[in-house]
Structure 1
Amino acid sequence: MLMPDGSPGRFRPAFRRWRAGRPFWGGLLLALGGAEVLLTLKASLAVIMHVGMQGLAGYLLPTVMLLCGVLILFSPAQRLFYSVIGVLVSLGTWVTSNLGGFFVGLLLGVVGSCLTFGWLPDQEPRVSRRKRRKEARAAKAVARPLEREASQSA
């Protein structure tokens, strides 16, 4: 959203700060995986209740996936528990829900859970390879004159 003067509004920086404090992409992928599995179920709830517990699990597991993804986004302190539950439930949808939403929801759930499990909250931002090389070249350029002075004075 741009302001009339062309500068970005207050929403984007606030969202970036919120997103940086949590495993955003992992939770989002897990929630999307659960939603995808739920959308691939074609049977009506009346048929599922008639089939019994096996049919009910087809709706229950993707709902738990969706819930874990949302809870990861809004309660990142419990991310390890939710990610373990998310990966187990995602793998369980392979049996109960059309091969895990035709493998798409299953893969989204597993990848999202793994991203969440591996996320570290206090990690410094990565420095690009280009920036590291540039800093190394600058350090070498500073070190060369110092080496020459040391060799000349000895």
Structure 2
Amino acid sequence: MSTGQHAAPVARPGGRWRRWRRARPFTAGLLIALGGAEMLVTLRAPLGVLLHVGPQGLAAYLVPAVLVLCGVLLVATPQQRVFYALLSLLLGLVSWLTSNLGGFVIGMLLALVGGALAFAWTPDKHRPAPTEPALAEPPYPG
């Protein structure tokens, strides 16, 4: 293209999806939700060793359910990421006591890694230039 013509940018498939995903802590939310879901699955495992009695049984279902909710809300509202990250880290640790050793350790680790990623995530600082020209002050005379 030596004539000075520029080729039009090629639209990549999934470009909108990629921009949306990168504008939020998607991987962190996915890991947290998967950790909570894995804990819920292990609670329904047909193992005779597992026993849920009283308030401990309610917490065994409540902790993973809130983790799944935190993962979904983290993706939906990234502005609240610090709260959801801290809640996920706390619930991931509590799951060790309430949800069959944190879903046999796998769900707990997924929730902890996801919470750490969510806490460390920062929004993209490179924003496109505003479409309206900025109002400049008139130069001082003299």
Please give the range of the TM-score, normalised by the shorter of the 2 chains: 0.7 to 0.9
Matches within 5 A, 1:115-134: 115-123=117-125
Match of 2:23 in 1: 21
Mapped to 2, the partners of 1:43 and 1:122 lie a distance apart of 41
Correspondence for 1:95 among 94, 97, 102: 97
Match of 1:85 in 2: 87
Higher helix share: 1
* CA RMSD in angstroms, aligned pairs only: 1.9
Mapped to 1, the partners of 2:45 and 2:113 lie a distance apart of 27
Letter in 2 for 1:74: A
Q: Which protein shows a greater Rg? A: 1
Mapped to 1, the partners of 2:16 and 2:83 lie a distance apart of 27
The one of the two structures with greater contact order (alpha-carbon pairs below 8 A, sep at least 6) is 2
Correspondence for 1:54 among 42, 56, 62: 56
Structure 1 residue runs of 4 or more that deviate by more than 2 Å after TM superposition: none
- Normalising by structure 2, we get a TM-score of 0.73
Correspondence for 2:43 among 41, 44, 47: 41
- Normalising by structure 1, we get a TM-score of 0.68
Mapped to 2, the partners of 1:43 and 1:23 lie a distance apart of 31
Gaps of 5+ in 2: 1-10, 127-142
Of all paired residues, the percent bearing the same amino acid is 54
The total of aligned residue pairs comes to 112
Once the two structures are TM-superposed, the CA of residue 42 in structure 1 deviates from its matched residue by 2.5
Mapped to 2, the partners of 1:26 and 1:8 lie a distance apart of 25
